[in-house]
Amino acid sequence: MGLLDRLAQGDISALARLASYIENGDPLGNDAINQLYPATGNALVVGITGPPGAGKSTLIDGMIETWRTLEHRVGVIAIDPTSPVSGGATLGDRIRIRERTDDPEVFVRSMASRGRRGGLAPATAGMVHLLDAAGFDRILVETVGVGQEEVDVASLAHLTILLQVPGAGDGVQALKAGLLEIADLYAVNKADLPGAEMLVRELNSIAMLGLDSGSKARSPHVVKVSAMTGDGVEKLVTEIEKLGSERRDARSPSCVRIARAEITALVTDRVRRSIDSDCGQKQIESLVVDVAERRLSPRDASEIVLSKLSVSTSPGPDR
């Protein structure tokens, strides 16, 4: 029996094997997604991001509990940053999120970002499709929000939660954060700590300003939670469900945005692989001296490289 047949029967080992193929860019994984894709589009995909130590994993654990009481099947994709030095990643979320080996309706997968900017692994979208096709109707994608460019999670989620904690910075600094501009919900964790109420007021003020291209029509709600005690988690899930109900239609702006972003990401990755290949590097090296000695502008050089590169239609493994 093939892996897809076993997946259709709820075989978790088949799901794990296919997840590995997808993460490694194996052609078997790509073929599986192509075959499974028509059966996807049923899951609510929620991105969650925030600074290290904000309590994302503990909050996710509480959200899983709430969704399971509502009989939802929950998948979690936890993205860990890849070290630019060693190339390794901690992959610790399967440790931090409590073990659920006795619950086949919960699947947690940690992935390395593999150097991709924005905090997401190249195969994350494929993993979302796999869990969706496997019948997980609530999918959480967790990424570490560090810096102003860690916003890619919003490109593949129906809605995004930004988790903040008291004492993480003043309001002026918060106004600079790109993460605040893409969040659909703000969650303030450790709400019993000093400064929590002030943070809530600041986030409410930011939401009212409409930082999403200056649109005051978009006002993210602020929800106070205590991931450790579970206070506020049910309210957060209720807010997620309200927002998600209007964003899952195939023709909704959210779904169209996700589809556009995934196509763009795949094309970008293909071009990047072509440039990283030996042929691509040779094309660049032949122009480096001309650019360094100002005989050719970097833009003109890039046009020459792109015109000469042969971007294969074979996906191949991701680098």
Give dist(CA 256, CA 294) in Å, integer: 43
* pLDDT-wise least confident of 13-27, 144-158, 181-195, 215-229: 144-158
pLDDT of residue 215: 45
The residues, any chain, with a CB within 8 Å of residue 140's CB and separated by 6 or more, are 46, 47, 48, 60, 63, 74, 75, 76, 77
Task: Say if residues 256 and 221 touch (Cβ distance below 8 Å).
Answer: no
Give dist(CA 32, CA 39) in Å, integer: 12
pTM across the whole model = 0.84
> Is the pLDDT confidence value at 37 over 90?
yes
Which of 67, 63, 35 lies closest to 137 in space, CA to CA? 67
Which of 139, 93, 87 lies closest to 116 in space, CA to CA? 87
Query: What is the pLDDT averaged over residues 103-132?
Result: 79
Residue 9, Ramachandran bin (φ over 0: left; ψ between -120 and 50: alpha; else beta): alpha
Phi, psi of 142 (to 5 degrees): -105, 135
> Is the pLDDT confidence value at 73 over 50?
yes
- Which domains are seen in the chain, by residue range? 1-38 (no CATH), 40-245 (3.40.50.300), 250-319 (no CATH)
Q: How many residues does the chain have?
A: 319
> Is the pLDDT confidence value at 71 over 90?
yes
